[in-house]
Each structure stands twice: as C-alpha cells, then as structure tokens.
Structure 1
Amino acid sequence: MEEKKFDLNSIIGFVLIFGILLFMLWQNQPTPEELAAEELAKKVQVAAEKNAEVKKDTFVTNAEDYSNTTASDSLKLEALKNKLGAFAYASTLPSAKDHETLVETDLLELKFSNKGGYLSEVKLKKFVNSDSVPIYIIKDGNAAFNISFSTTDNRNLNTQDLYFEPTITKNGENTVVSMKLKVSENKFLEYRYELKPNDYMFGFHVRSQGLSDVFNSSQEINLDWKIKTYRHAQSISYENRYTELIFEYEGGKDDYLGQGSFKDDTKKDITWIANKQHFFTSILLADQPFKSGYFSSKNLVEDEDIDTLFTKAFASRLPLALEGGELNKSMDLYYGPSDYKILNAYDRNLDEVLPLGWGIFGWINRYLFIPLFGFLGSYMSYGIAIVVMTILIKLCLSFVQYKQFLSQAKLKIIKPELDAIREKYKDNKMKIQQETMALQSRAGASPLAGCIPALIQLPVFYALFQFFPSAFDIRQKSFLWADDLSSYDTILDLPFKIPFYGDHVSLFPILASIAIFFYMKMTTGQQMATQPTQEGMPDMAKMMKYMIYFSPIMMLFFFNNYASGLSLYYFISNLISIGIMIFIKNFVLDEEKIHAQIQVNKAKPKKESKFQKKMKEMMEQAEEQKKQGKR
C-alpha cells in the first residue's frame, strides 16, 4: 500500500475557498434598516397569532403597521373596513379580544367585557341563594346591553358586537371604569362607570366624542336592555309571583307588566326601569327622562319541575337622542337587594319597586309596619319580632272585636222580638222591614254596628298580606323549625306532588288553618245565634257551615308554598283573636246588663235621623204602590 504524503497545495486551496466564503458573507449582511424591518415583521406575526386564538377572523395590529402585513392580513383588514366602516379601527387594537376586567367594591364584584363594553357578570358579595351559592344577577350571558345605530355611510351597527378599550382610574374614593369604542385615538363612544364604596348604585354615562360625522342623525338610536332573571329562592313559583318589570313614567307614575305568559307595554317620559327578581333587582335610572320606552316580560316557567334556572325574560327598548350630533346621556345603575330601607334612601321613588299596596294599604306599610318591624328586629330575632308585632296589632284592634261582639250580643237578645215581628207580618215583607228597622234602632242593635268596625280591619289585613312577601329582613332568617321565614317551612318531603299543594308539607300553614277553623266556628256560631228564624235559613246555615271547613282548607293549600313568616302571623293572629273572644264573652260582656240597657233605650223617645225618615218614606211609598197595583 502506498503511504499518503502531506499535500501543501491542497491545504492552500482549502484556505482560499474559506476566505472567499467569509468575504461573501460579509458583503451580504443586512443593513440596520433591514434588521429593524425584520424585527417589526416578527412583532406583527406574534400579535396576529395571539389574536387568532381569540378571534380567528380578525387580524390585530397597530394602524401604523398596516404596511408590514401580509397579503392575507391586508384582505382581512379590508373586510373589517367594509363591514364596520370607521369603527374598523377598534378591531385593530390590542383590546379587540374577548377579555373581562374585574373590579370590586365593598358590596359588588363586577366584570366588564371588552366585547360590548358592558357588564358580563354582577355578583352580590354579601348574599347567597337557597343552596348557599353566591347571588349573581348577571352571569353566563343571561343579560345584554346594546346601542344600535346607523352611520352616515349606511351601516347598521350594534355596540354588543364591537370591542371597547378598558381603562381604570380613581376619582377620590370612587373607582372609574372607562370603556371606549374608538374610531381613532381622539374619536370614540364611551361607557363610563363610576363605582362608589358601600353603595349598590353607581354612575353610568354614555357619551361620544368626535362622532357627529359618523352617526346618522336621521335614523333612530336605541338602547336595548335585556335580562333573564335567575332563580334564587327555594320555591320558584313563589319567587316568580313577585318577579316583574316595573317602570316609572310621566313624572312620577309607576306601572308594571304583571304575571302573564307574555306582557308588553309602551309609555312616554321614562325615568327608571326595574327588573325585579323578588328579593333582588337591577334598575336603570335616567337623570333626564327617556322620550319613550317599550317593555316586555315573558314567563320562562312553564313546568316547575323542568324550568328551574330562570323565572322571566325582561326586555326594554329606549330611544337615545343626539345633542349637537353627539350622544350624551347621564344615568345610574343599581344592582342589589329589593330592600325598602336601601331603595327609599335614594329618594328617587324607588320604594315603588316593592309591592306594598296602593293607597291606604301602602301608607300603612310605609309609615307603620316597616318602621315598627325594623325597630323590633333590632332588639330581637325576626321570628319573635313577628310574634310581638302581631300581638301589638291585635291589641290595638281589640276594640273592633269588642264592638262586633257587642253588636252580636244585642242582636241575640232581641232575636225573639224579631222572630215575633216576622211571624206577625209574615205576609207583608215591607212591614217586616219597617218594624225590624224600628226595633233595631230603638235597641241600638243595628247589624251595621258590627259590620263597620269589621271593615276597619280590612286595610290592616291586606297591608300585612303585602308586607311579608316584601320584607327583605326576614330573608334566610330562621325561627323554630323554619329555616327561612321568607320561604316555606318543611317538616316532610313527599315522594310525589299534589296539585295546587306541592311536594312537601309545611307546618305553619297547618297550624294557621287549625286556628282559623276554631275562630270561624266560634264567630259563625255567634252570628247564627243572632239570625231571625225564617224560611230559607237552613240553606244559609248550611252555607256558613261549609265555609267553616272551606276557608281553612283553602288556607292550607294556598299558603303551603308561601313565606312561613306570613303563615306564622296568621297562626298567632287567630290564636289571639280566639283568646280575645273568650275574654270578652266571659269577662267583659254581661247579657243581663245589655238586655236592661236595651229596654231603657226602647222606652226613650227615639228621634229619627233624616236618613231614617227618608228610608221610612220610601218604604211607605213602595208599600202604597204595591197596594194600588193589586187593586
């Protein structure tokens, strides 16, 4: 084998080739301008890839980087311009992505969405529902807020489809959240929220800057506010009964849509709209009234066993007016409890959100029951407060029961004489009426003497019926076996559902029904004892006997799903009524003394009033006409 030798010529050749390559690389290195362009291209590519993960059809870059985009990106930008016009700029900003900004106050936890610029989540930090889950008024897309408008280049746009840029600043103790939908850096539509500490209401301002040449002033600009109200209570049917859309219009009038499967209405000069969810509510208030408003309410509970998430769907449409070609609307938003004390403190007529009753019924609740119950509740548990308030009310109305018993006692005493009159003039009904009225007048034993005091109790009865379902203070407050006085109490869960009754057994309605039965048995027996003997009375007696059983049964079924606090009131109230009746009958009324007084009254000459004289004349004329007709 031939031995290899060191070849100097080969080494020199390799060195020359390596030197030539180095020279070529040095000649072809990029200039500083080319390096900067390459770096910018990389940034654009990274931004595009990040935005593609959120919104595949939108290319995100800065306006000054348009010249560095690829052909495909340029097509996307052109498509955005064709679709959004001037507002395409907002979709080229880094904020053009599905992102939420979290802001917290002492009472609220709020999330603002870049897309649409509005609240995507509202959590009330101090409350939970019947399953101990935090109360959310807005969550998982159940609400929408949108401004629809037309542009001068004939585009119809919706803010809920466009991206806003969020910024958070401080204004003293208040937190300001600004959401801007930009046409350029100096032209935009802004939602401005100003959140206050320890307040469920916050400022909300909609304004535009530099958009007078963008908005088409010949077309309507509408604000659409929608929400599907979440179920928060144990009984969805009971909660739904007090879930309704309420609004104020024409300088202080208020109205609501009611409880139908679908209701709608249109009114003028709207100052506020409340989407009330029984114990929680969302309210939009305007500093200056909206010119008009269209409202709708749809019941979402068709089957209580299936439709268990939402109660109703509310929608409001309100027109926005341009001022000098710009939007400028100052409003407030309230997300919080339907608590009379909180709502009334704003002094904006928001107490009308609560169904306290109209006229005298509302006055009794506002100026008597609410202050009294609030005072008692500050010193004792709310269950005891209900019992104490019931006792106080019944003691104040005890004179009414006394007047009723006194009237019934008098009628019972003169019953033999009334029967004698009916027997004597059995063929002359007009004469029976005349003599009966004359005897009752002389004895001071008119049936009206018992009816009129009973009417005094009706406003109190109805006011309390409205008070307890609206009493936020008793929500989730326990008493004895009841876990929540604002909901039904349960002592037994049934494996089946009874129509109109439910799938559970509540004890307070049972106790209230038993108390009503004995109370009606006592009062009906007393009333029957005062009725004169006549034909047809057996039928009347049967009807009154049926009522003794029908009323407690109706109470049992009707209140099984109602607030246990209301059933507790009726139970205690009827127990006290029974006690008062027994006391008056055995220790206050003396029938012998009443009889003696009646005889004295009968002996005295009785001066007839003008009304009595007129009635007597009319009856005599009717009797005379009857006689002439027979002739």
Structure 2
Amino acid sequence: MEEKKIDINSIIGFVLIFVILAYMLWQNQPTPEELEAQQKAKQEQVEKEKSDQTVQQEKNTTATIADYTADAADSLQVNALKNKLGAFAFSGLNAKEGQTKVESDLLNLIFDNKGGYLSEVKLKKFVNYDSVPIYLIKDNNASFNINFGTTDSRILNTNDLYFKPTVTKNGDETIVSMKLEVSETQFLEYRYAVKDNDYMIGFTVRSQGLNNIINGSQPIILDWKLKGYRHAKSISYENRYTDIHYDYEDGKDDYMGSRDDEETVNDVSWIGYKQHFFSSALLTDTQFKRVTLKAENQVQDEEVDTVYTKNFESTIPLVLQAGEINQSMDWYYGPSDYELLKKYDRNLDELVPLGWGIFGWINRYVFIPLFSFLSGFLPYGIAIVVMTILVKILLSFVQYKQFLSQAKLKILKPELDEIREKYKNNKMKAQQETMALQSKAGASPMAGCIPALIQLPVFYALFQFFPSAFDLRQKSFLWVTDLSSYDTVATLPFHIPFYGDHVSLFPILASIAIFFYMRLTTGQNMNAQPQQEGMPDMAKMMKYMMYFSPIMMLFFFNNYASGLSLYYFISNVISIGIILVIKNYILDEDKIHAQIQENKKKPKKQNRFQKKMAEMMEQAEKQKQMQNKTKK
C-alpha cells in the first residue's frame, strides 16, 4: 500500500486564504464612531419596543374598561326596561325607532315603529283647494292606542312602545307586520294588508302566547283619535258636513251632526270620521259591543285661518278570546264617493248624507243615476242644467195644477167676498158657505197646496244631493273653478257676518230669479184671496216674504256649493217661463169661469171628510145659537 504524504501546495493554499480573510476582516471592522452609532440605534430600538408595549397595554386596559362600562350600562338599561315594561322589555331591546314606507296605486303610507300605527296617509289622486296633496294623517294629527294591564300589575300603552316591522310582497298585495314582542314566539301584532287600486286596508290586531301576560280581569281599551284637516275653500261650509257616522245593530246607521257631542253606541260595525269629501273609517268583522264617540269642533268662524275642522275620538273596549286579543278589522282612507263606497257592500255609502226616508230614496234611485248618466258624456255644469230642465219638465204638470187652482180662486173671489160680507156677523156660517161654493166650483185651496207639497221632497232631495256629489269637486263651469264650492267674482276687503269676504255670482242670479218667480206667484195668490178681516196684514206679510226670501237666498248660499246655486237659478228661470206659458197660452179665464158655473149647477157629492167637517160646523153653529138664546 502506498503511504500518504502531506501536500505542501494545499497547506500553502489554506494559509493564503486565511491571511486574505484576516486582512479583509481587519480592513472592514467599524470605526469607533460607527460602533457608537450602532449602540445608540440599538438602544432606541429597545426603547421603541418598550413604548409600543406600553401603548398596547393602555389600549387593552381602555378597551377592557369600556367593555365593562357598556356591559354595566346595558345591564342598567335592561333592568330599567324590565322594571317599566316587564315581559315586553324584549321588544324595547330589539325594536328601534324608524318608519316603514309603503306605496300603492292610490295611497302613500308611512308606518311608525313607535306605536306600530300609520303616521301618514296621503291620497295620491287628490289635492285640496290650494293644490296641496290631501293628507288624512300627517304630523301627529292621529293616534291609535291599545291600553291593557299585565299579570305583573303594569298598565301599558301601545303607542309608547316600539314594534318590529316586517314587509312582504304577495302579488298586488303588500303585507306590513308590526310586532310588539315578548319573545320571538310571543307578541302582539298589527297586521296591515295594502292592495293596489283599493282604499280599503285589511287590518288585524292579534296576540300570540300572551294569555298569561295580558290581565283579562282589567279592561282592554282601543282608543282611536283623529283631527280632521281642512281641505275646502270655505271651512265653515266644509265643517257643516264634517261629523262622525256609524253603523250599528246589523244595518242601522246614524250620525252625530256638526255640533260638539258625545254618544255611547252598542253593537257597532263601523265608525267613520267624515270630512265632507274624504273619510277615515274603522270597520270590524266582529261588532264592537260598546263604543263611546266624541266630536269636538275646532272652527271658531270663517275669519280665523284654522288648520283643523273637528277633533274625533272613539273609545272601544276589546274582548279577549281564550286569553288572547284577536280582532279582524279594516281601515278605509279615501273619498266620500257614493258609488265607490257602495261597491264595498258594507253600508259605507251611508257616509254620504243623501237625506232620510223618501228624500234619500229619490237621491239614490233617481238623481244619482240620472246625474251619473248625464255627466258621462256632458260637462258637469251642463249636466246640472240638463238635469234641472228634466226635473222641471217632470214637475210641470204639478205646477200647472197649482196655478189652475189659483186661477179658479181668483175667478171666485167676488162671490167669496159677497158671502163674507153677507155673513160678516156669523163667521161660522160664512165658512160653511165658502166651503160649499169652493167645493161646487172645484176650486178648493187644498188643490193648490197638494201640488206644492208634492214638489217639496224633490227640492229637499236636490238640496242634499249637490253638497254631497263628490263628482262635482274641483269641476269647472263658466267662471266657476269648483262646482262643489262657492264661486268668486270679487273679493271684499272686509268680512260681512253671515255673508263672507267675497261675492259669488250664482247666488245673486238665483236671488234675482227667485224674486221674479215670487212676484208672479205671490201676486197670483194675493189676487186669489178673498177679502176678510186681517187681510191687509196678510198681504203685507206676503209682500215682505217676496223681498225677504231672495235676500235670505243671497246670504245663505254665498258660501254654499256653486252647483246648488246654479240649480236654483236655472230652476227658477224655468219656473218663470212655465208660469208665463201657462198664464198666457194655456189657461183661459173665461172658459174656467164658464166651467165653474157649470160645476155649480151640478150636485156635488161630498166625501167622508167633507161630510164630517160639515156636520161639525153645523153642530158648532147650533151650539152657538143655543148660547145666544140662553144669554137673551
């Protein structure tokens, strides 16, 4: 085996490498200044790390203190809510302030989390007299509250509590659920169902799992309040048709009138706060057993620029079902339009005051269908004129009978005066002879009264129809901008009591027409009346009425609907024309006189009433003669 030897070249190479490395290390060693700088930088780094650790420790400490403080505050809040609300403290912690907005084709609605009720209702298709959108609820003018007791001796009001909102969409229906929660499975819920193209909103108040929380031994009171906003130009006129209507005892209806009042009603199906042309109504599927209604007037007079018309309030005790609240209802927020309300088939059309008895019947089955037909193809003002003409033509035969009776009495007047003069000392005998002559001639005063009475239901029905006709609202005609309100041709710089601060032209025209009409008819009546004691006073009274009636019309209708004044103007002009035609072209006094003479010759058969009256007068006459003999 060959022996290994030391390689001198390798040793020399390693030594050289070592020498070179040593030289490089010596050459690159830091100077004393660099060593000092490095030492300083190292010290600053250590101090910085210490500072960062201190800051972090302080932050951690602050966070810990804040967390502790928040926990303590939450604990205090929870305790305060539990002390105040008891089981409903859960709702106070989980529900927050806020609003839920829902829009349909007809309504803009805002639901408030506090109280769970509607805080705003806007009717999208209508504006008021000043072109401002119609709001039935806005700026806290309404409230809806349920007051109830709990089993832990608390009294709560829902309008002070926060509801949790949920909105779901189902086709054309939007469901708004407002829940006042005790837990996720225990709550009091207001459930609203809003449909497109419908002013009726489904509404249910129900509770779940609260049978051991709500105290059934204490009354549960639903309280609904609303201040009606002014919507019309004349607040006094609007206020005259603003009141509370209600339906009770399965179909009966009534209203409180425009005065301040308070009533208690049983078995109520709906309550309507009517503001002339707009209404807010609460309807129930299960009748309210007992309701207290209250209305308070907010209008002092026409001169005061008042925001509200009336303050309405309903107090309704609710009945628990198996310890739970479960009341299915509906809200109606919309126009007081007869045709629209009638479609709901819930007697809501009674919100429109068409008159009682025969007056309402005439409006429902004659004037409303007739006007709806005419206004379907004619402007509303022209429709009023045409309807007035048709009514006057229909009643023209009645007016003819009335004028004919007056003409007969006028012809008989000389003979009647002779009878009264002949028996001036025996009024009973004079009355008997007068009645006998009138009966034979067929000229009884009652023949003129009966036609006038026939016209009264028609006139009164129309008097109710025009102020209630929603279709006339904001419809123009000639110089009139709104047939449902007064027209203005001049504004006065002052206010006249009972008249106002403006001049309406249609009432002036109607008053002039009434004056000439009364001049014709009153003159005819005065000429037909026989002379008798006290007659001059009667003539004066009739003469005064001829001037007083037009003046009363002028003042009374200056603030009324111009559509009604238009009707009276056209009606009286037509009446004047009918009278002139009857007087000049139809009635012939000579023929009437000849007919009377023929009638007087014929034996007149008395009816039962006439016989009874004749017998009573004969008995009275005999008694008077006996008394005179006794005195002698």
Specify the alignment match of 2:92 in structure 1.
91
CA drift at 1:616: 1.3
- Displacement of 1:437 in angstroms is 0.8
3-state DSSP of counterpart to 2:479: coil
Aligned partners of 1:350, 1:166: CA distance in 2, in Å? Answer: 30
Residue 220 of structure 2 contacts residue 319 of structure 2 at CA under 8 Å; is this kept in 1? yes
Q: 1:604 to 1:85 in 2, by over 3 A?
A: same
> What's the counterpart of residue 8 of structure 2?
none
State the partner residue of 2:504: 506
The residue number in structure 2 matching 1:557 is 555
Please give the alpha-carbon distance, in whole angstroms, between the structure 2 residues aligned to 1:369 and 1:320: 41
Residue identity opposite 2:134 in structure 1: I
Aligned pair partner of 1:295 in 284, 293, 310: 293
Following superposition, the deviation at residue 304 of structure 1 comes to 3.1
Q: Distance in 2 between matches of 1:38 and 1:16?
A: 29
- Do the aligned residues in 1 keep the contact of 2:303 with 2:495 (CA within 8 Å)? no
Aligned mates of 1:182, 1:38 — CA distance in 2: 36
Report the residue type matching 1:256 in the other structure: Y
Q: State the alpha-carbon separation in 2 of the partners of residues 560 and 26 from structure 1.
A: 88
Moved more, 476-485 or 599-608: 599-608
Q: Secondary structure at the match of 2:484?
A: coil
Any conservation in 2 of the 1:150–1:221 contact (CA below 8 Å)?
yes
Deviation at 1:255, TM superposition (A): 1.8
Q: Against the structure 1 CA distance between its residues 14 and 609, is the aligned structure 2 distance closer, same or farther, given a 3 Å change threshold?
A: closer
| Cα pair 1:356 1:362 within 8 Å, conserved | yes
Structure 1 residue 565: Cα displacement? 0.4
CA distance in structure 1 between the aligned counterparts of 2:582 and 2:225, rounded to whole angstroms:
58
* C-alpha distance 440-24 of structure 1, shift in aligned 2 (>3 A): closer
The one-character-per-residue Cα deviations of 1:53-83 (angstroms, maximum 9, x if unpaired) are xxxxxxxxxxxxxx99332332122111111
CA deviation after TM superposition for structure 1 residue 307, in Å: 4.5
Alignment of 1:216-235 (within 5 A): 216-235=215-234
Q: Aligned letter for 2:214?
A: F
With over 3 angstroms needed to count, the CA separation of the structure-2 counterparts of 1:26 and 1:550, relative to structure 1, is closer
Q: Note the 1:505-584 alignment, pairs <5 A.
A: 505-584=503-582
Q: Which residue of the partner structure matches residue 607 of structure 2?
A: 609
Deviation at 1:617, TM superposition (A): 1.3
SS in 2 for 1:397: helix
1:358 aligned partner: 356
Among candidates 458, 461, 472, match of residue 459 of structure 2: 461
| CA–CA separation in structure 1 for the residues paired with 2:497 and 2:597 | 56
Q: Deviations over 1:483-510 (max 9, x none)?
A: 1000000010000001111000000000
- Range moving further from structure 2, 413-422 or 356-365: 413-422
Q: Note if contact 1:268-1:292 (Cα within 8 Å) is conserved in structure 2.
A: yes
CA-to-partner distance for each residue in 1:158-189, whole Å, 9 max, x for gaps?
Answer: 01000111111123321111111111111111
Partners of 1:300 and 1:307 within 8 A in 2: no
- Paired residue secondary structure (1:91): helix
1:623, CA displacement in angstroms? 0.6
The residue matched to 1:199 in structure 2 has which SS? coil
Question: How far did residue 351 of structure 1 move?
Answer: 1.1
TM-score, length basis structure 1: 0.91
State the one-letter code of the partner of 2:74: D
- Corresponding residue SS for 1:348: coil
Distance 1:494 1:563 in 2: 19
Q: 1:18 to 1:368 in 2, by over 3 A?
A: same
What is aligned with 1:72?
73
Matches within 5 A, 1:95-174: 95-97=95-97, 99-174=98-173
Aligned residues: 598
Partner of residue 327 from structure 1, selected from 325, 328, 350: 325
- Does residue 177 in structure 1 map to residue 204 in structure 2? no
Unpaired runs of 5+ residues, structure 1, are 46-66
Larger mean CA deviation between 229-238 and 422-431 belongs to 422-431
Does residue 1:242 correspond to 2:229, yes or no? no
Shift of 1:626: 0.7
Task: Give me the whole-angstrom Cα distance separating, in 1, the residues matched to 2:622 and 2:55.
Answer: 133
Structure 2 counterpart SS, 1:255: strand
CA distance in 1, matches of 2:304, 2:438: 61
Hey, what does 1:258 align to over in structure 2? 257
Hey, what's the Cα distance between the residues in 1 that align with 2:596 and 2:400?
A: 17
The DSSP-based 3-state class of the residue aligned with 2:508 is helix
* 2-structure distance, mates of 1:493, 1:342: 36
Separation in 1 of the partners of 2:51 and 2:485? Answer: 88
Deviations 1:477-532 (A, max 9, x none): 01111110000000100000011110000000000000000000000000011111
Q: 1:304/1:412 Cα in 2 relative to 1: closer, same or farther (>3 Å)?
A: closer
2: CA distance, partners of 1:9 / 1:620: 154
Residues in 1 aligned to 2:130 and 2:333: alpha-carbon distance in whole angstroms: 21
- What CA distance in whole angstroms lies between the structure 1 residues aligned with 2:584 and 2:296? 56
The equivalent residue for 2:406 is: 408
> 2:9 — aligned with what?
none
CA distance in 2, matches of 1:610, 1:70: 99
Query: What is the alpha-carbon distance in structure 2 between the residues aligned to residue 252 and residue 273 of structure 1?
Result: 13
Give the superposition deviation at 1:316.
0.3
User: Per-residue CA shift, 1:315-358, capped at 9, x if unaligned?
Assistant: 00111111111111100100000000010111111111111100
2:185 counterpart residue number: 186
Distance 1:342 1:291 in 2: 28
Instruction: Please say if residues 262 and 292 of structure 2, whose CA atoms lie closer than 8 Å, have aligned partners that are also in contact.
Output: yes
Contact 2:302 2:500 (C-alpha < 8 Å) held by counterparts: no
Q: Secondary structure at the match of 1:404?
A: helix
Deviations 1:274-323, CA, capped at 9 Å, x for gaps: 00000000000000101110010000011433352000000001111111
Q: What is the rounded CA distance, in whole Å, between the counterparts of 2:490 and 2:47 in structure 1?
A: 97
Which secondary structure does the structure 1 equivalent of 2:475 belong to?
Answer: coil
User: Does the aligned pair in 1 maintain the 2:526–2:539 contact within 8 Å?
Assistant: yes
2:79 aligned partner, one-letter code = E
Distance 1:20 1:247, change over 3 A: same
Q: CA deviation at 1:38?
A: 11
CA distance in 2, matches of 1:6, 1:617: 154
Q: Percent identity?
A: 68
> Relative to 1, partners in 2 of residues 1:5 and 1:418: Cα closer, same or farther, differing over 3 Å?
same
Q: SS where residue 323 of structure 1 aligns?
A: coil
Aligned to 1:381: 379
Q: Contact 2:212 / 2:323 at 8 angstroms: preserved in 1? A: yes
- The answer to which of 9-18 and 335-344 deviates more is 9-18
Structure 2 Cα separation of the partners of residues 29 and 611 of structure 1? 116
Deviations 1:74-118 (A, max 9, x none): 21221111111111111112x411x11110000000000010001
Moved more, 296-305 or 427-436: 296-305
Provide the rounded CA distance (Å) in 1 between the counterparts of 2:55 and 2:518.
109
**TM-score, reference length from structure 2:** 0.91
Query: Contact (CA 8 Å) 1:488, 1:561: kept in 2 or not?
Result: yes
Secondary structure at the residue paired with 1:326?
coil
SS in 2 for 1:317: strand
Are the counterparts in 2 of residues 365 and 464 from structure 1 also a CA contact under 8 Å? yes
Contact map agreement 1:239 1:277 (CA 8 A) in 2 = yes
2:484 corresponds in structure 1 to: 486
Provide the rounded CA distance (Å) in 2 between the counterparts of 1:498 and 1:22: 91
Deviation at 1:241, TM superposition (A): 0.4
Q: 1-side partners of 2:376 and 2:150: how far apart?
A: 57
Residue 15 of structure 1: how far off its partner (Å): 3.8
| Structure 2 residue matching 1:488: 3-state secondary structure | coil
Question: What SS class does the counterpart of residue 244 from structure 1 fall into?
Answer: strand
Check the 8 A contact 1:272/1:284 in 2, yes or no: yes
Residue identity matched to 2:371:
F
Q: Cα deviations across residues 571-591 of structure 1 (Å, max 9, x unaligned)? A: 000000000000001111111
Letter in 2 for 1:209: Q
